Amino acid sequence: GPDGAGGATTALRARGGAGAPQQSPGGAAGGGPAEPTMVLRLKFLNDTERLARVRPGDTVGALKRAYFPGQEQQVRLIYQGQLLRDDAQSLAALHLAPNSVLHCHISQHSPAPAPAGPRTSADPVHTALNVGSLMLPLFVLMLAVLWYFQLQYRHVFTATATTFLAGLTLLFSFMAFTMYRR
């Protein structure tokens, strides 16, 4: 539930804080006592902007956790037309310049109903497939009945009607063959 997600977020934030460059000897050796910070511009769909102060060593996930707590799963960050999918990727790897613009899209759907979403959207697809699979036998039956009547009551069918029926049968056979060959 939401309480569990909140607890996980705090745990992640606490763990991220423990690995900050000021406290880790590796970070101190690499970039001095504190890594330099830079400002990024987070731009939203409604044209509002928010400034984010980050370090090049921060990851995309850390940026989402810091500026969108509790909404990490719904936030999509886009930089130069590319969706930043990998939360473990560092900002330095993206070659972000200071004042770079990151476009932010916050989806209104919470991650909990996401598994239910595909199931409900798959239902119309399955019904469409079922209707589609019924169409073939229906057309075969209809053509068979028409051919039966054509052979039993030949005097009722004109030459045009017989030609049309033969053309329809050929067209249907060709379409069925190309559909089921895939």
CA trace torsion 27, 31, 32, 35 (10° rounding):
-80
- What is the pTM (predicted TM-score) of this model? 0.41
Spell out the domain ranges in the chain. Answer: 38-106, 128-181
User: Which of 55, 50, 75 is CA-nearest to residue 65?
Assistant: 75
Give DSSP secondary structure letters for 113-162: TTTHHHHHHHHHHHHHHHHHHHHHHHHHHHHHHHHHHHHHTTTTS-HHHH
pLDDT: which is higher, 91 or 5: 91
pLDDT of residue 114 exceeding 80: no
Tokens of 15: 């763990």
Mean pLDDT, residues 96-104 taken together:
85
Confidence of residue 117 (pLDDT cuts 50, 70, 90): very low
pLDDT of residue 40 exceeding 90: no
- 43 in Cβ contact with 7 (< 8 Å): no
Report domain 38-106's class.
Answer: alpha beta
Output the pLDDT for position 169: 92
Confidence of residue 126 (pLDDT cuts 50, 70, 90): low
Q: Which long-range contacts (CB under 8 A, 24 or more apart) does 129-136 make?
A: 136/176
